[in-house]
Amino acid sequence: MVQELETNTILLIEDDPGTALLVQEKLEEVGCHSACVTTGKAAMGWLAQNRPRLVLLDYSLPDVSGIELVEKLAAAPGGMPPFIVTTGMGDERVAVAMMKRGARDYLVKDASFLDSLPRVVEQALKQIAVERRLAEMEQALRDRENRLRTIFETSHAGIILVNPQGVITYANQRMADLFGCSLGELIGSTYPEHVHPDQRYAGDQKMRQLIAGEIDAVALERHYIRKDGSDFWGFLSGRRQEDEAGNLVSLVGVISDITERKLMEAERITLLERLNLATRAAGLGIWDWDVQRNELVWDDQMYELYGVRREDFPGAYESWLARVHPDDRAAGEEVSLQARRGETEYDTEFRIIRPDGAVRVIKAYGKVTRGESGNPLRMTGVNYDITEWKHAEQVLRESEARYRAIFEGVQDAIFVETPAGKILDANQRACEMYGYSREQFLGMPVARLVAPGSSLVLPRSLSGAGMLEHPIETANLRANGERFPVELSCSVQNVDGEPVMLVVVRDITERKRAEEALRESEARLRTLINAMPDIVCFKDGRGRWLEANEFDLKLFQLTGVDYRGKKDSELADFSQFYRDAFLTCEETDERAWQAGGASRGEETIPRQDGPPLVFDVIKVPTFTLGNQRQGLVVVGRDITDLKRAEQDLRTALVEKEVLLRELYHRTKNNMQVISALLNLEAARDENQALRKTLLDMDNRIRSMALVHQKLYQSQNLSSIDLKDYLSDLANLLLATYQVDPGRITLRLEAESVPVLIDSAVPCGLVINEILSNALKYAFPGGREGEIKIRLSRSAQGMIRLEIADNGVGVPPGVDIRHKDTLGVQIITGVAGRQLGAKVEVDTSHGVAWCIQFEDNRYRPRV
Amino acid sequence: MSEAMDRPAKILIVEDEFLISLDLRMQLSKMGYQVCTLAGSGEEAVQIAAQETPDVVLMDLHLAGEIDGLVASRQIVAQTGAAILFMTGYIGEDTGRDIETLQPLACLVKPIRIREVHEAISAWLEQKVAIKPDRSLDALNESATS
């Protein structure tokens, strides 16, 4: 806190105001601003808030001695700022004591006090400034040193400093590891003793030049020896470290272990040597071609290579060419020609076809011998079979191509990264996915691909520990800033001894979208199902509940119960009241399973707070392809109200039926009352004509009353059987007219014909009229005869009624249809007009009426 | 309309109960009305009205057949301008309003009395004369006396 308040001010601690004023004026003259306090306590307070460049401390203060104050301030957080002590005359001893406690200088308040003040102060200030600059430099140096030390100590290469005498003065831990000894052993040893004896002087030349300053740096492959006697190859890069005058201070050496590489090189050399030996021993063919004379001479090995017998080989250039694979001939000739022209070495490969058909790859090498004018005289060279090599190379190339194809061809982006997350390589798919070119990717920190809020995945250690065992889902950024979901897996691989990170990224935008869409549609479906005032429940193949809607849960008091995965019998424990209902449900489920298809039934579900409810329950089982039980959908609708309404309706209907029957009954009774009245009237009257009229009226009323009687006796209350009616009415009339059944025979041939009430009454009136006429007029004077009644109905619905008597008939020339009697008017008018019937009458033998009508003029009313 | 005054009013009876229509015809004829051919259905009524141009149609609202009394009345009014006098077994709420659009002389509930028919027709004739100020006094007198 104190440092923050550092100022240019000089603090004056002086208890004498006069002196203070003079000192301040003097300081002002030399451009120094000052502040003044008069006591030690005030000084402490001021210094707690401010940091002066310099303090002028009066040794003798009223509250505290100078020594005490300095000691207190030195212990305070900011420490004692630089100070100069002022003392009174004769206090020089005190001044010395203060100098020991860090005072820069002292001033005695004598006559020259004010004059010498500026010089002393300025000198102190200058000294302070220099000290400060030095301190800053030291700090910077320390920082740099720290940085370098960090680099040295964490470097993968060994680093040493060697003084001009060859003694190692500094080394990092890696260096000690390389040399197989401790740091203590390494430092102080000489550099040459670590160099392998076979090389101890090999690099001397270069090193001497480096030490002499003729060159600045060396880069050498050196063979070193470890403490335990084993050896290793190191790549040394050495550099001079000079002082400001350009004198050598030390040599800086950076050594990295290249043993692996050297070993591989050595391996390669030996391999080649071995191969040469082998080919030489097994089949290096030598050829010699006299270009001028076109004579080609082969040694035995050549014949072996080409599989040709000496006697079969003509020994010319063309005979060789003939053995070359047709596809390689042009190129082969070209190389040969170029060699003869001196444009290239004769160093080529071509395929040959042996007589047995085998194709071999031949490596050929040759030299051209030229004449004085430079014209080619002859070519001499070797051939050897490299088929197996080529094959191996081919396999390698194919394998590489395959990996490359996989690398490029996969749907996933693949990155090769350093363990620190810097991109080393990226495949084509990565470019497409992120919108960067491969060049842009190279060297890019992978963090740039990570979307804000998503975590960057980097290995915690190079062994791969802490890496993802399973792919994770996270979000990445494309070049255009678009955020997209990815599935990411990564692993640490050791490639050529270097740990690299392989990151495989899959764009799962589509998958996410599909998942989202699925979730949405599921949510919609669930909302829908929950909104339904019906039971909806899904169960699995073993009857365990998967999903039920709110209505279902509420109905069975399962709200808040973790019902999923439980069977009805298990859920019974949660809802004691519905125990039986659950157990019954399991039974009906089983029946649905066994039925194998949708089943439907009514289920009565009791309630604690009201009458039981009736549900129309549909159960639909589903089966797997293997016909195993897969799931069961249960849907139930509350049909309690429906059932009640149905019941009410049924009751109402029964009531109405009773009422209607009663109505018909009363109508019939009323008509009987009318009939009785007419009879009473007729009996009182002496007038025969009137009595006859009243009797006719009585019959007509009774014919109508009979319709109502038949109606209330009928099943459906809306139609009667015309056959029954005919039979009853005929018997009624026979009785009325007191006909002797032996005299007039009634023959009824009828089939059952239902007619509606609206047709039945007019029909009854007509039949009554015809039958009455026949009974009254056809058989006068006790004649015997017969009345035939026929009733039938055609397939088309036409009702045919025939009533024929074999009585006296009508006198010739009389058209019965035009008689102006009410009876005939009823027959022709009511039948013809009201029923829409076709009315025919045949009077050739007696009277025969034929009435045909369709019962379609009225519609059923019930 | 003055011609109507020169002869008895001509009435078309539309009734599907044949015997009732016979009765009505007899009674109206006795009172001096001219009665058209009896119509037993809506279709017949429309046909007969076109041929015989009645002054008044005594129409049963509930007729058997394809068209009921209301529909038949509309057609007859549109074609001939005849006045309508309805007969019905009962007046349903729905038919009530429909009937009014045809401005019938009356709507009589069965069983009807022939007197009511006569009174309705007489009142109609008087009203017709009253709203025709240009009618001759003779015609007026004649209608009043008949």
Rounded distance, CA A76 to CA A494, Å? 57
Structure token digits, residue A166:
């060859």
Mean local confidence (pLDDT), A661-680: 89
pLDDT score for B126: 85
The residues with which A600 forms a beta bridge, in sequence order, are A618
- Searching chain B, which residue's CA lies closest to the CA of residue A825? B19
Check residue A273 and give its pLDDT. Answer: 47
**Touching check for B65 and chain A: CB below 8 Å?**
yes
Residue range A712-721, pLDDT digits in tens: 888 878 889 9
pLDDT at residue number A184: 87
What DSSP string describes A225-261?
E-TTS-EEEEEEEEEEEE-TTS-EEEEEEEEEE-HHH
Q: Cα distance from A797 to chain B (closest Cα, Å)?
A: 18
Q: Which residue has the higher pLDDT, A768 or A820?
A: A768
- Which range is least confidently modeled, A143-152, A701-710, A802-811? A143-152
Q: What is the pLDDT of residues A622-637, one digit of tens each?
A: 888 778 888 888 888 8
pLDDT at A665 over 50: yes
d(CA A723, CA A712): 16
pLDDT computed for residue B140 by the predictor: 46
Contacts of B16 in chain A (CB under 8 A): 834
Q: What is the identity of the amino acid at A42?
A: A
Looking at the complex, does the CB of residue B16 fall below 8 Å from at least one CB of chain A? yes
The two structure tokens encoding residue A99:
């100098």
Q: Which 3 state secondary structure label does DSSP give B63?
A: coil
* pLDDT above 90 (res A819): no
Instruction: Examine the pLDDT at A403 and tell me if it is beyond 90.
Output: no
Phi/psi of residue A749, nearest 5 degrees: -120, 100
From chain B, pick out residues whose CB is under 8 angstroms from the CB of A758. 64
State the average pLDDT for chain A. Answer: 82
> Which region, left, alpha or beta, applies to residue A836 given φ > 0 means left and ψ of -120 to 50 means alpha?
left
What is the pLDDT, as a whole number, of residue B91? Answer: 65
Whether A854 and chain B come into contact, CB under 8 Å, resolves to no
Cite the beta strand spans of A419-468 per DSSP E. 423-426
**Does an H or E element contain A85, and which?**
strand A83-87
Residue among A228, A209, B4, A212 nearest A220 (CA)? A209
B63/chain A closest Cα distance in angstroms:
10
**For A348-367, what is each residue's pLDDT tens digit?**
889 999 998 888 888 888 88
Q: What is the predicted ipTM?
A: 0.74
Other beta carbons less than 10 A from residue B123's beta carbon: 12
Position A727 scores a pLDDT of 92
How far apart are the C-alpha atoms of B64 and A855, rounded to whole Å? Answer: 12
* pLDDT at residue A1 in the model: 38
Q: What's the whole-number mean pLDDT along residues B60-75?
A: 87
Q: Using one digit for the tens of pLDDT, what is the confidence trace for A600-610?
A: 888 888 888 88
What residues are paired with A803 via a beta bridge? A789, A849
Residues of A in contact with B38 (CB under 8 A): 833
Q: Does A763 touch chain B (CB under 8 A)?
A: no
Give me the pLDDT at residue B27, please.
92
CA distance A565 to A542: 10
Q: Who wins on pLDDT, A802 or A429?
A: A802
* A826-843 average pLDDT score: 89
Looking at chain A, the whole-number percentage of residues with pLDDT higher than 70 is 88
**Cα A786 from Cα A747, distance rounded (Å):** 7
**pLDDT at residue B52 in the model:** 94
The DSSP bridge pattern shows strands A785-793 and A413-417 to be: unpaired
Residue A156 identity (one-letter amino acid): H
Please write the tens of the pLDDT for every residue from A91-125: 777 777 787 888 888 888 888 888 888 888 888 88
Q: Are strands A231-242 and A248-257 parallel, antiparallel or unpaired?
A: antiparallel
Per-residue confidence at A279, pLDDT binned at 50, 70, 90?
very low
Query: Quick check: A233 and A258 in contact, CB under 8 A?
Result: yes
- Between the alpha carbon of residue B53 and those of residues B36, B65, B118, B120, the distances in Å are 9, 22, 19, 19
Find, in chain A, the residue whose alpha carbon is nearest to that of B65: A857
Q: How do residues B95-124 score in pLDDT, each as one tens digit?
A: 666 778 888 888 888 888 889 999 999 998
| pLDDT at residue A747, as a whole number | 92
pLDDT at A493 over 50: yes
- Give A-chain residues touching B65 at CB under 8 angstroms: 857
Ramachandran class of A110: left when φ > 0, alpha when ψ lies in -120 to 50, beta otherwise: beta
- Give the model's pLDDT for residue A144: 61
Contacts of A762 in chain B (CB under 8 A): 18
Closest chain A C-alpha to B133 CA, distance in angstroms: 45
**Per-residue tokens: A326:** 């047709």
DSSP secondary structure letters along A575-639: -GGGHHHHHHHHHHHHHHHHH-S-EEEEEEEEETTEEEEEEEEEEEEEE-TTS-EEEEEEEEEE-
- Contact status of A834 with chain B (Cβ, < 8 Å): yes
Kindly state the tokens that stand for A173.
């831990």
Q: Name residue A162's beta-bridge partners.
A: A168, A251
Whether the pLDDT of residue A148 is over 60: the answer is no
Q: Which residue has the higher pLDDT, A251 or A394?
A: A251
Structure tokens at A503: 């990151």
Q: Are A122 and A84 in contact (CB under 8 A)?
A: no
Model confidence pLDDT, tens digit, residues A234-245: 888 777 877 777
Residues A617, A600 contacting (CB under 8 angstroms): yes
